[in-house]
Amino acid sequence: MLEWPESFIPSFLIDADQEAQKARDARLSELFHQPLTLRRLRSMRADPFYRPLMELDRNSATDFALNSP
């Protein structure tokens, strides 16, 4: 069992994820200016198939794991 610090607030994980999303969106908006391109890139980034492929291309590794029954 994990021992959490007394000041641990689990909702910080959601807050951190939302802030990371805002930062990624801001960076994409700096690099690409066409709304259709931005929409496609955001969709690819969130896609459960393409995301691991992009991680493999970038890092030669991914945390993607197949869930088998």
30 within domain boundaries: yes
Distance separating alpha carbons of residues 17 and 19, to the nearest angstrom: 5
Tell me if 45 sits within 8 A of 24, measured CB to CB.
Answer: yes
60 in a structural domain: yes
- The pLDDT of residue 19 is 93
Predicted confidence at residue 60, as pLDDT, reads 83
pTM as predicted: 0.59
* 2, part of any domain: no
pLDDT value of residue 68: 46
Look at residue 3 and tell me if it is in a domain.
no
Give the range of the structural domain holding residue 29, as residue numbers without chain letter.
11-67
Does 16 map to a domain?
A: yes
25 vs 33: CA distance, rounded Å: 12
Map tokens 């391109």 to a residue.
37
Q: Is residue 25 in a domain?
A: yes
**6 inside domain:** no
Number of domains in the chain: 1
